[in-house]
Amino acid sequence: NNKLQLYGCSPSNPNQQWGVMDPADISDSWSYSDGSVRFYTMESSKAFAQLVRNGDDIAVGYGGSNVANSEWFYDSNTHLVKAKGTDKCLDAYQAWAGGIVHMWSCNANEVNQRWNLDAATNQLKHVTHSGLCLDADLSANNGAGKLQLWGCHMNNNNQVWRVIPMSAMAATVHSSNVNNAYLQPTTQDTVVGAASTGKWDQHWFWDANSNHLISKLNGQCLDAYEAQQGGRVHTYACIASEGNQKWNYDATNQIIKHAKHSGFCLAFDNLNNKLLQLKSCNVGDNTQRIKIAAA
């Protein structure tokens, strides 16, 4: 059994090291169990590329929600990005494009460790080395990928990061009965079922704690604002208190129920057009048989 007690202070005793995090300092859109997140690249030819710690270095990890050493804390007050379970932080000491980024002992006074998570652009910008961002070149190292500093550019998807709470599961969302019906945003206002691409445009994150389905493509949440038959479904900026974005997944029947609009479920308009909408829940309706599958 674990036990809390008073004990003689020792800087080297890991049992006495505490992280005090205010979720409001990380994001106004999420509540975390402990503040830890994963940093996923926006796009990749391999599934769910993400930032991982590799000893004193960093690397690109591939896979869903079980990739080792992929958990991080971001503190917007100190601007530190810390690897969970360590005293190591993201550190960039070469102030030029292609500059090395590695892990180093966390120090709030170390200017090489200061990063700004820009909520507008979803870039991780270096505070000290102005104009440089954390960049994931996924084509480098024979496809293994490389993390580095690079000049910040709005149209460079190598620099767009999806900061996802640890409670969320990397997933695909697709029809249980029909092939070629994977949920995919085509615009902010339209989500359809499309042929499987295996790429980022059909990757989602399902957070059963917040009841959100988050698109990896645009970082927005699945949202239904019309509580009616045929009600529109689209994606919208994630808001923790927005009831239109709350869903409950019935894994037994493989249907996705709207948490606010009681009696309505996620469905395709039909199995040909596959436009996403709300319908009155009916487990016998094949257009409503939609599965959330771990990636």
Domain boundaries, the chain: 19-164, 168-294
Per-residue pLDDT of the chain (295 residues; tens, 9 = 90+): 445 677 778 666 656 656 443 333 333 333 345 889 999 999 776 789 999 999 999 999 998 888 999 999 999 999 999 999 999 999 999 999 999 999 999 999 999 999 999 999 999 999 999 999 999 999 999 888 999 999 999 989 999 999 999 999 999 999 998 888 999 999 888 999 999 988 899 999 999 999 999 999 999 999 999 999 999 999 999 999 999 999 999 999 999 999 999 999 999 999 888 999 999 999 999 999 999 999 8
Task: Indicate the pTM of the whole model.
Answer: 0.85
Helix (H, G, I), strand (E, B) or coil at 186: strand
Q: Which amino acid is at 278?
A: L
DSSP conformation class of 15: G
In whole angstroms, what is the distance from residue 12 CA to residue 15 CA? 9
Kindly report the number of other CB atoms within 10 A of residue 85's CB atom.
Answer: 11
Q: Which helix (H) or strand (E) holds 190?
A: strand 190-194
Q: Spell out the CATH class of 168-294.
A: mainly beta
Q: What pLDDT was estimated at residue 96?
A: 98
Fold of 19-164: Trefoil (Acidic Fibroblast Growth Factor, subunit A) (2.80.10)
Q: Supply the pLDDT for residue 33.
A: 54
Tell me the C-alpha distance between 215 and 185, whole Å. Answer: 8
Query: What would you report as the CA-atom Rg of the chain, rounded to the nearest whole angstrom?
Result: 21
Matching CATH topology for 19-164 and 168-294? yes
Do 127 and 180 meet the contact criterion of CB atoms below 8 Å apart?
no
